[in-house]
Amino acid sequence: MLWLVYNLLFPVVFLCMLPKFISRMLRRGGYKKHFEQRLGIYGRGTTVRLSQGRRIWIHAVSVGELFVAFRFIEEYRKQHPEALFVVSTNTSTGHALADQKLDSRDVLIYFPVDLPWVISRVLNQMNPLKLILVECEFWPNLIRQAHRRGVPVALINGRISDSSFKGYMALRPFTRRVLEMISTICVQGRQDAERILAMGARAETVKILGSAKYDLPPPAADADAKARAVLRQLSVPDNGLILLGGSTWPGEEEALCKIYKNLRTMHPDLFLVLVPRHAERRAEVVKMLESQNFSCVLRSADATPSLRPDVLVVDTTGELMSFYAASDVVFVGKSLCAHGGQNPIEPALFGKAVVVGPNMENFPAVMDDFRSANALRQVPDFQTLETAIAELLADPAARARLGEAARTVVESHRGVIAKMVHGEKE
């Protein structure tokens, strides 16, 4: 009965969300490409490749989860070099990144809509060896049909946010049935384990392994040099102070600009780099900067400006890490507004002084690690964000201590992916 209700309600919800999908297609240039894959319809080339040997299907929603997926694939292939994968993602940003980085042996698709006939079509074409879900992706029809076909289902790097937990508990009779079909559940922290057990997971399937996002690949040796070369073209000296807003969301760029305007009086050599979470927002960000009387240049622009701009907007894919390497103080976005935060581990890998806002619900276990080691600054609002950034810019020794503590946290928590590969095999 519960499955019938879900399958009756889901199409209604999907139709209600269709205007949102259409709006994204219009707003983001790459979103509509391959949209038919969401209905399990693939071009001939993809269909042929899916039929050439059984693959492990790994699903990662977007960019953050994809890095976990890539590292899992890399670690898995150390023991099984012959393994083939199909990787699915939900977002155009994630798809673009995966298209750049995925091994040529593997297949990239958009994640299909969780309707019974769509999932059945996809599983018929793919016939996967295993299904691996990254972080918090519980799609009932996918899990149920995979389980019925004898395909082992695993969750890696699992986490359960506050809002998700409330929703899952409200639907616990249904959630429990879905979770019982998952053979291995690797979670990030004790709270995640307690929550997923309360939701109905079988105790013998749950393993606390830590966050896989610590297992980032070592920084590229030329990461700093690449960003410095770009900054030099903009007449920003190598010894200038760089304030970077990484993976920012609406409202955060404006907040950083106001802080930047105030702090430039004390630090004439200060330069602001903004890296919006979605490059498609470039026009919106430029309009905001112009309203603040800031000159700016887009990283994607071909021409080099004759005069140094006030702000660089990095609207390209795959360059954030390089700019983290060249920065002095990093604000990690999606955390000042109520969205759950982006990954603080990436700038910490470079030993940078990291500041985040109050909303880091997406990284509870990681934040516990960083807070216990005093390895970042977390602020409650805009005013204290300005104070924290001002203090760090004024004190090189404090920046160095905070950055080194952050790097130590990352190094001491590595090795989670290897544990997940082992746990998934059990």
State the Cα–Cα distance between residues 308 and 41, nearest whole angstrom: 49
Q: What pLDDT, on the 0 to 100 scale, is given for residue 24?
A: 63
Residue 411 pLDDT level (bands cut at 50, 70, 90): very high
For the segment 172-190, the average pLDDT, to the nearest whole number, is 94
Kindly report, residue by residue over 110-125, the tens digit of the pLDDT. 999 999 999 999 999 9
Kindly report, residue by residue over 293-313, the tens digit of the pLDDT. 999 999 998 777 888 999 999
Percentage of the chain with pLDDT > 70? 95
Of the candidates 233, 225, 227, 169, the one whose C-alpha atom is nearest the C-alpha of residue 198 is 169
Domains of the chain, start order: 28-215+414-425 (3.40.50.11720), 223-412 (3.40.50.2000)
Q: What pLDDT, on the 0 to 100 scale, is given for residue 313?
A: 97
Q: Is the pLDDT of residue 265 over 80?
A: yes
Kindly report, residue by residue over 82-107, the tens digit of the pLDDT. 999 999 998 888 888 888 889 999 99
Q: Please state, rounded to an integer, the average pLDDT across all residues of the chain.
A: 91
Place of tokens 């807070």: 371
Q: Is the pLDDT of residue 28 over 60?
A: no
Kindly report, residue by residue over 35-44, the tens digit of the pLDDT. 788 888 999 9
Q: What pLDDT, on the 0 to 100 scale, is given for residue 63?
A: 82
Between the alpha carbon of residue 360 and those of residues 38, 332, 343, the distances in Å are 30, 10, 9
State the Cα–Cα distance between residues 231 and 325, nearest whole angstrom: 12
Residue 218 pLDDT level (bands cut at 50, 70, 90): confident
269 or 339: which carries more pLDDT confidence?
Answer: 269
Q: What pLDDT, on the 0 to 100 scale, is given for residue 383?
A: 93
Q: Is the pLDDT of residue 389 over 90?
A: yes
Of the candidates 364, 358, 354, the one whose C-alpha atom is nearest the C-alpha of residue 401 is 354
Kindly report, residue by residue over 321-336, the tens digit of the pLDDT. 999 999 999 999 999 9
Query: 72 and 421 in contact (C-beta within 8 Å)?
Result: yes
User: Judging by DSSP bridges, how do beta strands 107-110 and 184-187 pair with one another?
Assistant: unpaired
Q: What pLDDT, on the 0 to 100 scale, is given for residue 92?
A: 80
The model carries a pTM of 0.78
State the Cα–Cα distance between residues 78 and 80, nearest whole angstrom: 6
Residue type, 107: V
State the Cα–Cα distance between residues 202 and 207, nearest whole angstrom: 11
Q: What pLDDT, on the 0 to 100 scale, is given for residue 232?
A: 95
Residue 8 pLDDT level (bands cut at 50, 70, 90): confident
For the segment 56-61, the average pLDDT, to the nearest whole number, is 95
Q: What pLDDT, on the 0 to 100 scale, is given for residue 163?
A: 83
